[in-house]
Amino acid sequence: MLFTDTSRGRPFAKDPAVVRFGDGYFLYYSIPPFGDGRSGDGWAIGVAHSVDLETWSRVDEIRPVQECERNGICAPGAWVHGGKIHLFYQTYGNGRKDAICHAWSVDGIHFERDESNPVFQPSGDWNCGRAIDADVIEDGDRLLLYYATRDPDFRIQMLGVAAAPLTSSFGRADWTQIDNGPILKPELPWEQECIEAAALCRRNGRLFMFYAGAYNNKPQQIGCAVSDDGVSWQRLFDEPFLPNGAPGTWNASESGHPYVFVDADGSTHLFFQGNNDNGQSWYLSRVAVTWDGDRPRIGD
């Protein structure tokens, strides 16, 4: 698989999120502004559909509509619950004020916004108040929301977590921040100054997180960590689980912003973004993940 979107005049698709719904699969991803000054121009979320996870066709896009979305929306996390696809996505272009929004759909294409958007921003003196790169996972009677934020100096990117009752509407009043500091921050040399884009799955009662280390094209690469409670995390590897490609390959500049999808047959798929021109173009791809007990590896 190598997918991109040319609707903005160049190959560009970032920040994948995938769910199984109806007769196939939906892929949600970030697309940039048109760049020609048209009304309502801004970052948006593309929508593609597939029946086999390999061949994807763009079907539509989700444009900014609410006032808080005015500068753009991107980086969706997708989750199926109660016969609906829920998207948790970020506002764009607001610096420290970027936050997580919520919308839902019964057909995978047309989404209804939460009137309380944005639904989550972090508090505390350890972060700058920003929240981006959402992903969610069920945990007993609650939904965990993972997000990236930065330190007060707006330099170091790191991860936090919040929770809402599974019976709630996931609006602004439903979320409780359950960290009192970053749950994962850059520590390894290859992570440099950034950990972002948490991507969650559950296996044998444990939570696994694939995450992006380093800022885009530094190169950004993908790591993996494990947790028994969703808050305390331990890295599984000191080196990238999925590194950037060799010089001349399509992902030489980075392999980043992961999304992990577990299909109905139990197979695990790791979606990610990459490019070889320092971000002038962006493509999405997928690799199979297999498990040796509680340790993931790339390949069938």
High-pLDDT (> 90) share of the chain, %: 95
* Within a domain: 4: no
Please check the confidence at residue 271 and state whether its pLDDT lies above 80. yes
* Within a domain: 101: yes
d(CA 254, CA 72): 24
pLDDT tens-place string over residues 193-203: 999 999 999 99
* Within a domain: 79: yes
| CATH code of the domain covering residue 91 | 2.115.10.20
The average pLDDT across 69-93 equals: 97
Neighbours of 23 (CB within 10 A): 7
* Within a domain: 117: yes
pLDDT tens-place string over residues 27-44: 999 999 987 655 557 899
Determine contact, residues 270/287, Cβ cutoff 8 Å. yes
pLDDT tens-place string over residues 237-255: 999 999 999 999 999 999 9
Prediction pTM value: 0.97
Q: Which domain holds residue 249?
A: 67-298
Please check the confidence at residue 157 and state whether its pLDDT lies above 70. yes
DSSP state of 282: -
Q: Compute CA 294 distance to the chain's CA centroid, rounded to the nearest angstrom.
A: 23
The average pLDDT across 159-175 equals: 98
Q: Which H/E stretch holds residue 226? A: strand 221-227
Determine contact, residues 297/270, Cβ cutoff 8 Å. no
Dig out the tokens for 207 from the structure.
Answer: 């939570």
Cα–Cα distances in angstroms (integers) from residue 296 to residues 110, 230, 291, 293, in the given order: 35, 18, 4, 8
Q: What is the pLDDT of residue 293?
A: 87
Q: Tell me the one-letter amino acid at 225.
A: A
* Within a domain: 53: no
* Within a domain: 78: yes
High-pLDDT (> 70) share of the chain, %: 98
d(CA 47, CA 21): 13
Q: What is the pLDDT of residue 39?
A: 53
Q: Which residues contact 19 (CB under 8 A, 6 or more apart)?
A: 25, 26, 78, 79, 80, 85, 108, 261
DSSP state of 114: P
Dig out the tokens for 150 from the structure.
Answer: 């930065």
* Within a domain: 73: yes
Q: What is the pLDDT of residue 300?
A: 75
Q: What is the pLDDT of residue 40?
A: 57
Maximum alpha-carbon separation in the chain: 52
Give the pairing type, strands 254-262 and 234-235: unpaired
The candidate with the shortest Cα–Cα distance to 175, out of 125, 124, 129, 121, is 121
* Within a domain: 244: yes
State the average pLDDT for the chain: 96
Q: What is the pLDDT of residue 35?
A: 72
Dig out the tokens for 259 from the structure.
Answer: 């999304």
How many structural domains are present in the chain? 1
Intra-chain end-to-end CA distance of the chain, in Å: 15
d(CA 274, CA 266): 26
